[in-house]
């Protein structure tokens, strides 16, 4: 979230704004008020009414996988006019949830997308795809966040559990998240973004040349070409 100027106040001052702390239970307006008063805070989220303040991020368990994930999604985005990619954007989902996902891929509202950019620059509503880099399956990403994303209609949700060398890709079907399985070649294909193909093993191994080679096959598919034409005609 983009923060405004700091509030120079103390607990005894009526204008004092308490800092955000993990575990706080807040409304979304109060969460935003406190977040905006902390310009040096890089990431905090409101998930099911509970505040989570991010810890400093290590390179190998998070920053490097995040960079590789973004490279894959960016390569798809630039080949698909009408699709937009965001890195750590604040997303206003509902009154109890304002996450800041590692990545979102959305269809532009002008092309029929489900979310839009509000007057103050934040994403409003449910992006078509959200991706998170998680330390393990014990993370909130596979529990509280997953419930919130499902309830708000996010159509696809990717969670990369780095310590467990696992990528879970969920598709919203009849109101429930169903895990997509790799095909015989180890590839998962998006159900929402035609041509978004992922070689799961290659991503986990850090073999980005293979990841991008498989993606290029998806981008060359008839399904992707039809999707691009559909977006252009919207």
- Residue-wise pLDDT tens digits, 13-38: 668 899 999 999 999 999 999 999 99
Instruction: Give the tokens for residue 22.
Output: 């993990």
Strand partners, 53: 44
d(CA 3, CA 36): 4
Give the phi and the psi of residue 90 in degrees, each rounded to 5.
Answer: -75, 130
The dihedral sign for the CA sequence 131, 137, 141, 147? positive
Please report whether residue 99 resides in a domain: yes
Please report whether residue 217 resides in a domain: no
Please report whether residue 15 resides in a domain: no
- Given a cut of 50, the residues of the chain with pLDDT beneath it are 2-9
Measured CA distances, 172 to 129, 189, 232 (Å): 10, 14, 25
Q: Among residues 128, 134, 127, which one has the least CA distance to residue 52?
A: 134
The DSSP output letter for 37 is T
- What is the pTM (predicted TM-score) of this model? 0.88
Domain count within the chain: 1
Please report whether residue 222 resides in a domain: no
Burial 106-136 (b: 16+ CB within 10 A, else e): bbbeebebebebeeeeebebbbbbbbbbbee
d(CA 116, CA 124): 5
Residue 175: domain span: 59-182
Q: What is the pLDDT of residues 193-233, one digit of tens each?
A: 999 999 999 999 999 999 999 999 999 999 999 999 999 99
According to the model, what pLDDT value does residue 11 have?
A: 54
d(CA 121, CA 81): 21
Burial 5-18 (b: 16+ CB within 10 A, else e): eebeeeeeeeeebe
Q: How many residues does the chain have?
A: 234
Task: For residue 121, give the CATH number of its domain.
Answer: 3.90.1570.10
According to the model, what pLDDT value does residue 12 have?
A: 57
Average pLDDT, the chain: 92
Neighbours of 142 (CB within 10 A): 18
Element (H, E) at 83: strand 83-87
Residues 194 and 224 sit within 8 Å (Cβ to Cβ): yes
H-helix segments, the chain: 28-36, 64-78, 144-151, 200-205, 208-219, 222-232
Please report whether residue 76 resides in a domain: yes
Strand partners, 91: 123
Please report whether residue 210 resides in a domain: no
Please report whether residue 165 resides in a domain: yes
According to the model, what pLDDT value does residue 14 have?
A: 62
> What percentage of the chain reaches a pLDDT higher than 70?
93
Please report whether residue 22 resides in a domain: no
Cα 177-179-184 angle, rounded to 5 deg: 155
According to the model, what pLDDT value does residue 136 have?
A: 66
């Amino acid at each position: 979230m983009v923060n405004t100027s700091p509030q120079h106040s103390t607990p005894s001052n009526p204008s004092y704004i308490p800092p955000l702390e993990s575990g706080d239970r807040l409304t979304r307006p109060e969460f935003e008020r406190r977040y905006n008063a902390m310009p040096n805070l890089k990431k905090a989220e409101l998930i099911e009414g509970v505040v989570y303040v991010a810890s400093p991020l290590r390179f190998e368990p998070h920053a490097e996988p995040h960079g590789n994930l973004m490279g894959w999604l960016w390569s798809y985005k630039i080949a698909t006019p009408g699709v937009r990619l965001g890195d750590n954007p604040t997303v206003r989902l509902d009154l109890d949830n304002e996450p800041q996902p590692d990545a979102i891929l959305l269809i532009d509202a002008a092309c029929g997308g489900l979310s839009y950019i509000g007057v103050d620059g934040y994403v409003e509503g449910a992006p078509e795809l959200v991706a998170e880099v998680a330390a393990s399956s014990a993370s909130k990403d596979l529990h509280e966040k997953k419930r919130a994303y499902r309830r708000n209609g996010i159509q696809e949700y990717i969670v990369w559990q780095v310590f467990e060398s696992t990528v879970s890709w969920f598709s919203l079907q009849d109101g429930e998240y169903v895990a997509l399985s790799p095909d015989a070649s180890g590839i998962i294909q998006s159900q929402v973004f035609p041509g978004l193909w992922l070689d799961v093993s290659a991503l986990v191994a850090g073999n980005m040349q293979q990841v991008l080679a498989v993606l290029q096959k998806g981008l060359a598919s008839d399904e992707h070409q039809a999707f691009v034409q559909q977006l252009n005609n919207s």
